[in-house]
Chains A and B, each alone.
Chain A
């Protein structure tokens, strides 16, 4: 299974817009990353807080709803946050437009 995960990460990493992919567990510890480790740690910490905040916001607005995806568009990049049960994935990419 881990060979499949590696293969998938490699495939996505080869897309020309992708800067990096990070898989982070619910405690903010990186499980897998294609980026430099210190930067990953930094993203892991801040994105974990953001993930919790986004989850809270969605539940506050509607307790029957579910937070499924977050996209932060900045001037230079796009940061995607995909929450899963035991972990979350962060992708850093260059915007298409």
Chain B
């Protein structure tokens, strides 16, 4: 993937609503892109790559034919979404309130559409 489109995609990601920060890490733990300060990025990268590796081993241990897609770590202040694919890891730091709002409206609309299908909404 050419460098500009990586940067472009990364910028688009950081502009999504509720995204407070994003960090792209390579296979050796080097931060490739980040909109968070350098030292914090490195700490996030180190810790979360370890967590993802542990999670992946866990998944394969319990069910060898399964594999990890992503990890969502929720804390009081933020939600961290970590996904790995062929050597790269992306960490997205999201705001808890925006996420919950999106989830609430998605599940409400799913419930309404199901009710409509069942004909219970006039």
Contact = CB atoms under 8 A, between A and B. Distances in A.
A67 B67 contact: no
Contact of B43 (A60, A76, A77): A60
Interface residues of B, number: 27
Q: Which label, helix, strand, loop or mixed, suits the secondary structure of the B interface?
A: mixed
| Most chain B CB neighbours (cut-off 10 Å) among A47, A73, A79 | A73
A29 interface: no
Interface in B38-86: 43-44, 47-48, 50-51, 54-55, 58-59, 61-63, 65-78
A57 B51 contact: yes
A65 B76 contact: yes
A71 B74 contact: yes
B54 A49 contact: yes
Contacts of A57: 47-48, 50-51, 73
Given A70-B74, A72-B68, A74-B68, A50 B55 contact: yes
Interface of A: 39, 42-43, 46-47, 49-50, 53-54, 57-58, 60-62, 65-77, 79
